Amino acid sequence: MTLETVSDIFAFVCKNADFTNSILFAETEVPEIRPEERDAIGSVERHLRESYVGLLNACRDDMYARADDELKATMGRNWNRDDSIWERGRVELPLLIESSYVEIAYAWIGEEETRLGQLSLVSEIWVQKRRRGALCDVESRLVNPVVITPDKKLRVIADITEGARFQELARSVVAPLWPFAIDVRSALLRQGKGPTRQGPS
């Protein structure tokens, strides 16, 4: 059965990033874990994978549903598989491609720098470094909860709380950001600059 809401386990994991990173996401085996505890931890990891993939797919579905046919065709050129979503903790959708990516929409789960100690749901818009002048067109119009980060990404952050529906959480981070994402894309298209080799960084 597909998960649709944040469970108590998922909420606990997100609220306690230190535990999650040191136990569940440890790159090497943790010696303090007893053999009889490993099955339980394995079950948590499987549940966490389903939750990550389910929530991030909900974010992608929300973005895709807001796009017109032309933009949907662009998005379809990089459709992340579930394995990739889990391994990277994010989904990405290209919004503008020339010879390489110019604008990308992301949704990810992790420790956002203003909310250390917990895992948050984040949506953001990345623009190719040499084209970030397009952000100036929207920066003065940003309203809460949309912020611009020091490295020039548009971002919305939400807490992952027990009982929250994935679709509602996805909407909470996508809906405020989406109009600005489209405005930035329009500004990039108006710039009419030639192809560039610059890629995501």
Give me the pLDDT at residue 58, please.
97
pLDDT over 90 at 181, yes or no? yes
More confident residue, 44 or 9: 9
pLDDT over 90 at 154, yes or no? yes
Residue 183 is which amino acid?
A: D
pLDDT band at 19 (very low <50, low <70, confident <90, very high): confident
Contacts of 128 (CB under 8 A, 6+ apart): 100, 101, 102, 103, 196, 198, 199, 200
Q: For the chain, what are the domain ranges? A: 8-191
* Residue where the block lists tokens 């391994």: 87
Question: What is the DSSP track for the chain?
Answer: ----B--HHHHHHHH-HHHIIIIIT-SS--TTS-HHHHHHHHHHHHHHHHHHHHHHHHHHHHHHHHS-HHHHHHHTTS---HHHHHHHTEEEEEEEESSSEEEEEEEEEE--TTSTTS-EEEEEEEE-GGGGGGGHHHHTT--TT-EE-TTS-EEEEEE--TT-BHHHHHHHHHTTTHHHHHHHHHHHHHH-PPP------
The mean-pLDDT minimum among 4-18, 149-163, 182-196 falls in: 182-196
pTM attached to this predicted model? 0.85
Give me the pLDDT at residue 137, please.
81
More confident residue, 35 or 60: 60
Residue 163 is which amino acid?
A: G
Structure-token pair, residue 34: 């007893």
The mean-pLDDT minimum among 21-35, 100-114, 133-147 falls in: 21-35
The mean-pLDDT minimum among 109-113, 189-193, 195-199 falls in: 195-199
Give me the pLDDT at residue 44, please.
77
pLDDT band at 161 (very low <50, low <70, confident <90, very high): very high
Instruction: Taking residues 140-166, report their average pLDDT.
Output: 95
Give me the pLDDT at residue 32, please.
56
pLDDT in tens, 67-89: 999 999 999 998 999 999 999 99
Question: Dihedral, CA atoms, 158, 87, 135, 182, nearest 10 degrees?
Answer: -80
Give me the pLDDT at residue 199, please.
45
More confident residue, 30 or 184: 184
Instruction: Taking residues 174-198, report their average pLDDT.
Output: 82
